Amino acid sequence: MKCILETNRLILRELNITDASSFYQLNLNPKNIQYTGDKPFDSIEDAKIFLENYKDYVDNGYGRWACITKDTNTFIGWCGLKYDKNQNETDIGFRFFEEYWNKGFATESATACLNYGFNKLALSRIVGKAMVENKASIKVLEKIGLSFEKNILMDEKAAVLYAINK
What single letter denotes the amino acid at residue 42? D
pLDDT in tens, 74-116: 999 999 999 999 999 999 999 999 999 999 999 999 999 999 9
pLDDT in tens, 117-160: 999 999 999 999 999 999 999 999 999 999 999 999 988 899 99
| pTM for this predicted structure | 0.94
**Sheet of 157-165: strands edge to edge?**
3-6, 10-14, 64-69, 75-84, 89-96, 125-131, 157-165, 147-154
